Amino acid sequence: MLDKISRFFLPPAKSTFAPSVDNLFSFITLVSIIMLIGITVAMIYFIIKYRKRSDNDVTSLVDHNNALEVTWSIIPLGLILIVFSWGFRDYIRMFTPPPDAYEINVTAQQWLWKFTYANGKSSVGKLYVPQNRPVRLVMKSKDVIHSFFVPDFRIKHDVLPDRYTDVWFQAPDTGRSQIFCTQYCGTGHSNMLGTVIVQTNNQFEKWLKQGAGGKPSGMSLADYGKQLYGSQGCKACHSTDGSKIVGPTWKGIYGSKVALSDGKTVTVNENYIRESILNPGAQIVKGFPNVMPTFQGQLNNDQIDAIIAYIKSLK
């Protein structure tokens, strides 16, 4: 029964403490449904059985019953204490990471997630983790409060700008799970997504050793740029179809003349694009806010070339 309820409401249980959380959710739901049915049935029964029959109906003068009051206080109290202790026990477990957990750093910024590993490797938007090992995420924000949420794992915690916070999980199965930002953080809040990729230990070690995401051989430069457009977070703020998100659309922008916020005009060529990636505040297009983060240290020269190629292809 509890299982059925979990499956109806909740996503698949993909971490080791998810089943217990789900059982508590389902228990509370079940008890609530039973009590709701009881209340509703009583209500409907009373309004039918005790409906008004005449203007001179004499109604009962009984207006209190202390035994009843005690009963319907004690039973809910008991249920509440069960629910409280269950939740409390699981909560402690969920926020006490095992001492040998594998640590990954998480940096949140408007509007992307960046994951940095012990060996210096970083990844934007994609959190690669090894299967069936405890993983601890040490999180900090670069700007406003965000919140890291993976529904499948039942984990969530706010990510703050002035101190570190953490979550941990252990994912027994390989697969992919969704990451959401769940503390409202401005215009791009609902685009601040990511993916957890649980791999076997071998696959994970291999990935970790790889260089900073080189271009897969056989792929054109523009296609590689398109891949980076998604994986590096450009997508959160720049459209490719002409619509305005946060920053200027990339459609047709290469070669065009744009007005800058300081009154000058500039032609969008390779140099301007490269400068916008590494030093975005230098020449802002008029009418757009100065909120783009720098990708210095995040994108290498090859990757910048690829992005430029992709932009060129968007007529």
Q: Considering only residues 237-276, where is the footprint of other proteins by CB under 8 A?
A: 243-246
Nearer to other proteins, 255 or 289 (CB): 289
Residue from 60, 211, 221, 254 nearest 121 by CA: 211
Asked if 87 is part of the footprint of other proteins (rule: CB under 8 A), the reply reads yes
- State which of residues 1, 2, 3, 8 lies at the interface with other proteins (CB under 8 A): 8
Nearer to other proteins, 57 or 100 (CB): 57
Question: Residue 154, exposed/middle/buried by CB under 10 A (0-12, 13-18, 19+)?
Answer: buried
Q: Considering only residues 153-212, where is the footprint of other proteins by CB under 8 A?
A: 154-158, 160-163, 165, 178, 180-191
Asked if 88 is part of the footprint of other proteins (rule: CB under 8 A), the reply reads yes
Instruction: Dig out the tokens for 118 from the structure.
Output: 């012990």
Distance CA 306, CA 153 (A): 35
Most distant CA pair in the chain, distance: 91
Q: Considering only residues 89-148, where is the footprint of other proteins by CB under 8 A?
A: 89-92, 94-95, 143-145, 147
Question: Residue 264, exposed/middle/buried by CB under 10 A (0-12, 13-18, 19+)?
Answer: exposed
Number of residues interacting with other proteins: please give it, by CB under 8 A: 88
Nearer to other proteins, 46 or 255 (CB): 46
Whether 193 and 283 have beta carbons less than 8 Å apart is answered as: no
Smallest distance from other proteins to CB 209, Å: 32
Smallest distance from other proteins to CB 263, Å: 20
- State which of residues 3, 4, 35, 252 lies at the interface with other proteins (CB under 8 A): 35
Contacts of 85 (CB under 8 A, 6+ apart): none
Q: Considering only residues 49-68, where is the footprint of other proteins by CB under 8 A?
A: 50-53, 55, 57-65, 68
Q: Is the N-terminal amide bond of 168 cis, ω within 30° of 0?
A: no
Question: Residue 28, exposed/middle/buried by CB under 10 A (0-12, 13-18, 19+)?
Answer: middle
Distance CA 198, CA 175 (A): 5
Binding pattern to other proteins, positions 283-302, x when CB under 8 A? Answer: ------x-------------
Asked if 16 is part of the footprint of other proteins (rule: CB under 8 A), the reply reads no
Asked if 235 is part of the footprint of other proteins (rule: CB under 8 A), the reply reads no
Asked if 1 is part of the footprint of other proteins (rule: CB under 8 A), the reply reads no
